[in-house]
Amino acid sequence: MLRIAAAVLLASALGAQGYTSPAFFVQTEGPNNNVFPFGNTTVPFRFAQIHDDVPAGVITGMRFRHNLTTTQYPAHSVTIDAWVSTAVTPAAGANATFDNNHGVDKIQVIFNRTYNHPASVAGQAPGAWLLDYPFDVPFPFSGAPNSLCWEVHVTAKTQTVSVVHDSAGQGTTNPAIQVGRGGTGCFATGRTTAMLCNATQAMNWTTGGTATITGSNLLASGAVFVCTGFDRIAWPGGLLPALIPTSDVGPSGACYLQVNPLVNNFAVATTSGGVTQIINVPADPSLHSLVLYSQILGLDASANNFGVTASNFATHQVLGPHGAQPVSRIFLSGSLAANGTVSGSSYLVTNFY
């Protein structure tokens, strides 16, 4: 009862949107990916993380993001127990013996609870916090200079394929632009495969780099617009995706505008139905978190009465150079034994609320 009272009285710095650790990735996809401990198919799984940067507040849950990719990860369920404490050491001092990382205020915050997670939204950068674990018991955390330790025992999972989570490492001076794609395209005249818009990148943080948009399965020698913007949720005409009128009853099948098209570059597809556009990206760290969504629209009078076809969307997000981050993990696959492996890389980007 005293602990709950203290939790109520403690001033919270977490805010309505919670606190993302490390804060460098609050609006940016992490450069790594990880299936430990929730996303792979192995049970049991013991896992802990230590965070040095979590502010004071009452923590009532934690949540994670899917990895940016071209894949839609399936809905699934995970059953866990979880504990939280003020860590004995900072992240850099993580101990392979799980219990040696916890302080005297360690409490169990989740009791053998099953969480049902939705499918991912492919191509969103960064993803939404869909992988949510609200606590059964809140934890009042005092904040700096103390570190936070959370631990889970994963005892059941329903997924039959890996569900990859957004994660990061300790630092890099030359990070890649993060790329992915989502949504679906419709069919150009003469094609049996849907129009495809793909994102690739080549980044050098000394000389600059490129974000490349590649289209395929387009109308042979057809006129197209490579459309790029910063938003795939809404445009001046309303919410996205938006059905292109009459396309759903035409040979193209349903075509959707999926990007708010701020820049539209005209091009002519090759005879094989391909197109490429390159966007130069300067080596400017202030571009950190910049996200570009691109889509290819085709002029195709035979495809539907509106005469417009559309690809899926492609994603580029700039990730700036960064140093060592204040998180480490301890993991053990296939067992709940006392000792695991300590690592400063591929920890889960975590949102506490």
Contacts of 92 (CB under 8 A, 6+ apart): 328, 344
Looking at the fold, whether 251 and 303 belong to one and the same domain comes out as yes
pLDDT computed for residue 5 by the predictor: 38
Q: What is the 3-state secondary structure (H, E, C) of the chain?
A: CHHHHHHHHCCCCCCCCCEEECHHHCCCCCCEEECCCCCCCCCCEEEEEEECCCCCEEEEEEEECECCCCCCCCCEEEEEEEEEEEECCCHHHCCCEHHHHECCCCEEEEEEEEEEECCCCCCCCCCCCCEEEEEEEEEEECCCCCCEEEEEEEEEECCCCCCCEEEECCCECCCCCEEEEECCCCCCCCCCCCCEEEEEEECCCCCCEEEEEEEECCCCCCEEEEEEECCCCEECCEECCEECCCHHHCCCCCCEECCCCCEEEEEECCCCCCEEEEEEECCCHHHCCCEEEEEEEEECCCCCCCCEEEEEEEEEECCCCECCCCEEEEEEECCCCCECEEECCCEECEEEC
Looking at the fold, whether 301 and 347 belong to one and the same domain comes out as no
Looking at the fold, whether 63 and 146 belong to one and the same domain comes out as yes
What distance in Å separates the CA atoms of residue 275 and residue 225, rounded to the nearest whole number? Answer: 10
| Distance between start and end Cα atoms, the chain | 21
Looking at the fold, whether 148 and 17 belong to one and the same domain comes out as yes
Give the strand order in the sheet containing 209-216: 196-202, 209-216, 275-281
Looking at the fold, whether 166 and 27 belong to one and the same domain comes out as yes
What distance in Å separates the CA atoms of residue 101 and residue 98, rounded to the nearest whole number? Answer: 6
Looking at the fold, whether 238 and 284 belong to one and the same domain comes out as yes
Contacts of 270 (CB under 8 A, 6+ apart): 220, 221
Q: Which tokens sit at 151?
A: 């631990």
Looking at the fold, whether 262 and 154 belong to one and the same domain comes out as no
Residue with tokens 């994603």: 315
pLDDT computed for residue 71 by the predictor: 87
With CA atoms as reference, report the closest residue to 152 among 220, 81, 87.
Answer: 81
With CA atoms as reference, report the closest residue to 313 among 217, 185, 218.
Answer: 185
Residue 214's domain spans which residues?
178-317
Yes or no: say if 248 and 219 are a contact pair by the CB < 8 Å rule. Answer: no
Looking at the fold, whether 208 and 247 belong to one and the same domain comes out as yes
Looking at the fold, whether 154 and 22 belong to one and the same domain comes out as yes
CATH code of the domain in which 301 resides: 2.60.40
**How many domains does the chain fold into?**
2
Per-residue tens of pLDDT for the chain, all 353 residues: 334 333 333 444 576 689 999 999 999 999 999 999 999 999 999 999 999 999 999 999 999 999 999 989 999 999 999 999 999 999 999 999 999 999 999 999 999 999 999 999 999 999 999 999 999 999 999 999 999 999 999 999 999 999 999 999 989 999 999 999 999 999 999 999 999 999 999 999 999 999 999 999 999 999 999 999 999 999 999 999 999 999 999 999 999 999 999 999 999 999 999 999 999 999 999 999 999 999 999 999 999 999 999 999 999 999 999 999 999 999 999 999 999 999 999 999 999 99
Looking at the fold, whether 16 and 140 belong to one and the same domain comes out as yes
Q: Which tokens sit at 274?
A: 């391909």
Looking at the fold, whether 238 and 104 belong to one and the same domain comes out as no
Looking at the fold, whether 226 and 331 belong to one and the same domain comes out as no
pLDDT computed for residue 14 by the predictor: 72
pLDDT computed for residue 4 by the predictor: 36
pLDDT computed for residue 13 by the predictor: 55
